A and B are shown apart, each in its own frame.
Chain A
Amino acid sequence: MNAMLTVILPPLLQLLLVLAFAPLITGIIRKTKARLQRRRGASVVQPYFDLAKLLKKEVVVSPVASWLFHATPYIVFSSTLVIALLVPTLVTPVPLHWIGDIITVIYLFALGRFFLALAGLDTGSAFGGLGSSREMSIASIIEPAMMLAIFTAAVTAGSTNLSIIVDRLSSTPASMLNPAHLLAFAGLFIVTLAETGRVPVDNPATHLELTMIHEAMILEYSGRYLAFIEWASQMKLLLFLALMSNMFFPLGMATTWSPGALVLGCVAFVLKVTGLAIVVAVVESTNAKLRLFRVPELLMVAFILSLLALILYFIIGA
């Protein structure tokens, strides 16, 4: 019985944390942006109400949509849930550490995006196609930048396994301030903005179909399907923030399942992720969206930062 508990409880706890906390992060970003614009803004828990409303609403589906359109929300949602078990949040080792490493995380994200792009094309709406083509062309430049940023961390730790990266880093806290490490962090921050569709790459708050990237792709979705997709992208944002904070600064992470360590881990996680979310909101408030053809230049910056990090690592060592 006890053995069962130790197998089931950690993954369950981590899943619940990601599922429950993700909408709040989106709410915090929106609230911060509103305050920076001298608006009162909606309550930080508004995204929960939005999800609850969408889950109750009927799904309207185009008559020309195929099975792809129906399957995509579930594929996106469940692949994000699997990622939630691979990314370190409260405790190391992560629940599914034996199943895969950081490469798995990257490709599980790619899987969700692949199906979203197909679903965008599936209904034959002009905007869906527009969104899919933009998403895929941007994805093809995000990926190398993201890989490089993450590999810098992996090389430092000597492993691509996220738990091992976190452990190594925790045992030598001084290496968190290594310039190579910080540069890679900056690279990953830019990647996060692009990957999660924030300003200056995409604008999650816009109503203008013609300027949308991610939103254009999911324009045909409604009701429960939309709720799953929205929830998944909120989780994706949280997971990226978690990756950034824990892969680079694993301070306060629990290594055992004792209640004290868990509470500390929880507090540290919430603080770090909320802090990063506020930084994202400030970036969104102080920048205009980039012209679409300038996005590759921004991602090139991320790529070069990561490349520099890697070179630095080999020059000055860990």
Chain B
Amino acid sequence: MTRKREYIALLRKSLGEHLQIRETVVPNEVYLSLREKSLSTLPDICSLLTKSMKAHFTTLVASDERSLNDRLSLYYVFSVPSADLFLLLHVPVDPRHMEVPSISQVLESASWFEQEVKDWFGVVAFPNIHRLASHPDWPEDMHHMLKDVDPGRPVPRVQGTFDFKRVEGEGVFEIPVGPVHAGIIEPGHFRFSVAGEPIINLDVQLFYTHKGTEKIAEGMSPQRAVFLAERISGDSSFGHAIAFCHCVERLGGYEIPKRAIVIRTMLLELERLYNHVGDIGSILLDVGFSTGAAMAFELKERLLHLNEILTGSRLLRGMAAIGGVRRDPEKTQVQWHALRDMLVWAKESFEPLVDLVMTSSSVLDRLETTGILGQVDAYRLGITGIAGRASGTDRDYRRDHPHCAYPYLRFRTALHTEGDVLARLKVRIDEVRESFAILEQLQHQHRGEPLLATITRVPRLKYALGYVEGWRGEILHWLMTDKAGNIFRWKITDPSFHNWRALPVAVRNNIVPDFPVINKSFNLSYSGNDR
């Protein structure tokens, strides 16, 4: 708390003339309203916050609040790990002048966020004609996240073509890949410019799976939206659901039963486990090392099976609820034994797999120095999660913004600096080991205590952030309720939205046949990115 007080005092001293500082019911959120006259200083303020005040840009929330105060609102969200604090820099936008200064010049990590706000809300910050989040066959003036666009009506289509960065020169070829791929993966289009095998440039076209999740949630009751949150990205079902629950619980200031917190932490770690083990398998498969891949996939399958025994769902769905969890995964003897036996077995079979990989020179030769994401690039683009921690970005919300049971647990944050495929594999291996240790610490904690707090009414016209450290990286939601306590605006930030920008940087100067393994080492979600 004292760190928070000191930090706010510092903010007031250095930026008080431009900002109005306001605290809410949520202890670690501070809203900074930019004064109308100071609009042009926005980039400088953002620059100051990140460069000298240890804040990291995490997301940009736009909200159409014309029905409330005749303004649209932009919230630039910064995380301050050193003080466990979130700064939400609020910029009101006059609907007659849908323009704000761009902060991408000083904060490159914000550019995709600014482009999304331009495509979906029509608030122009980023002076780029390139469309990002809406495909070119949508009309130019179609900003579907504005409140006056009816989500029930189909969007009219116009003539439009994707425009890709072209590289020209002797012997330069373009290879178009996707959006439909050979494996069972999501749609995305990759446009390679190659000179022989080396990749000169990669353009990625996403948003084929835009489902309008944030739009259709508007007006929905938070209880129902939990199920929607589980479907944002299949591999992070539980992570997204809990991030959303955190929003509601934080804005209502609800107390969550201790047992529920323990269970949530357990399930978050189980989600991390099966995804990490699966990714290790996929990386090995992509370098043609089928024996190691088969070992990893067997382990993943057993972990998924354990999920089913514990929760009735392989993807841990149907467990999250506002105020706690729906069932106790350690309720019966069968479940308890399954969990205990599985952890013993999984730990025993994971280490031989690691030994096999780390002693196989043909595998290491493929992974080392492949797809390097340098530390400077990772920092510049705001890369989070596994990919960040493999490139020297020491961030982990479990430690920096403690949530669930993490403040009471002993664990280490994995950190590597090489930034290649091998480093991302090593981060996963370290985190799998930590997950085993965390699960051991959690078993039986507060067993038999209540699972669900009774929540009568969700407060009206309140807003709060909700976050968890998902397996891929930080999952950050922002929720605002309307006059009936239903959802007014819900902004979902999947770590993939940050990390997709790392891929073109990491593949540059690598050869085409190494692309699949580089891509797999990031393993980004299309659905979570496109929403």
Residues of A within 8 A of B (CB): 33, 36-39, 126-127, 129-130, 133, 199-200, 203, 205-211, 284-294
Contact = CB atoms under 8 A, between A and B. Distances in A.
A83 to B, nearest CB: 28
Interface residues of B, number: 32
Given A133-B196, A210-B515, A292-B513, 5 more contacts: A126-B177, A287-B288, A288-B362, A289-B287, A292-B511
B514 A291 contact: yes
Interface stretch (B148-156, B290-298, B474-482): B290-298
A193 to B, nearest CB: 12
B286 interface: yes
B283 to A, nearest CB: 10
A294 B369 CA distance: 14
Interface string B355-393: 000001011011000100000000000000000000000
Contacts of B289: 287-289
Contacts of A293: 197, 511
Contact of B287 (A38, A284, A285, A288): A288
Interface centre among A288, A289, A292, A293 (most CB of B within 10 A): A288
B183 interface: yes
Contact of A292 (B197, B290, B362, B516): B197
B405 to A, nearest CB: 36
Interface string B284-322: 101111110111001000000000000000000000000
Nearest to A286: B291
Nearest to A293: B511
Contacts of A207: 182-183
A208 B183 contact: yes
Given A37-B291, A210-B516, A285-B291, A130 B175 contact: yes
Nearest to A285: B291
A39 B512 CA distance: 31
Contacts of B362: 200, 287-288, 290
5 smallest beta-carbon distances between A and B, as pairs: A289-B288, A37-B294, A288-B289, A211-B513, A203-B288
B515 A288 contact: no
B366 A288 contact: yes
A130 B291 contact: no
Contacts of B176: 126
Interface string B135-175: 00000000000000000000000000000000000000111
Contacts of B197: 292-293
Contacts of B516: 208, 210-211
A291 B511 contact: yes
A223 to B, nearest CB: 18
B248 to A, nearest CB: 42
A206 B298 contact: no
Given A37-B291, A39-B294, A293-B197, A209 B365 contact: no
A211 B512 CA distance: 7
B422 to A, nearest CB: 12
A117 B363 CA distance: 29
A292 B173 CA distance: 18
A219 to B, nearest CB: 9
Interface in B163-206: 173-177, 182-183, 196-197
B183 A37 contact: no
Nearest to A127: B175
Given A208-B182, A292-B197, A293-B197, A33 B515 contact: no
A205 B174 contact: no
A294 B365 contact: yes
A217 to B, nearest CB: 14
Contacts of B288: 199-200, 203, 206, 211, 287-289
Nearest to A200: B362
Contacts of A291: 365-366, 370, 511, 513-514
A294 B291 CA distance: 21
B510 to A, nearest CB: 10
Contacts of B177: 126, 209-210
Contacts of B515: 210
9 contacts: A126-B174, A126-B177, A127-B175, A199-B288, A210-B177, A211-B516, A288-B362, A289-B287, A289-B289
Nearest to A212: B513
Contacts of B290: 33, 37, 199, 205, 284-285
Contacts of B287: 288-289
A210 B512 CA distance: 6
A189 B366 CA distance: 23
A129 B515 CA distance: 17
B451 to A, nearest CB: 39
Contacts of A206: 288
Nearest to B196: A133
A19 B522 CA distance: 45
A203 B513 CA distance: 11
Contacts of A126: 173-177
Interface centre among B174, B287, B511 (most CB of A within 10 A): B287
Interface string B68-82: 000000000000000
A290 B364 CA distance: 10
A130 B512 contact: yes
Nearest to B288: A289
A238 to B, nearest CB: 22
Contacts of A289: 287-289, 366
Given A288-B363, A292-B197, A208 B286 contact: yes
A38 to B, nearest CB: 6
B298 to A, nearest CB: 7
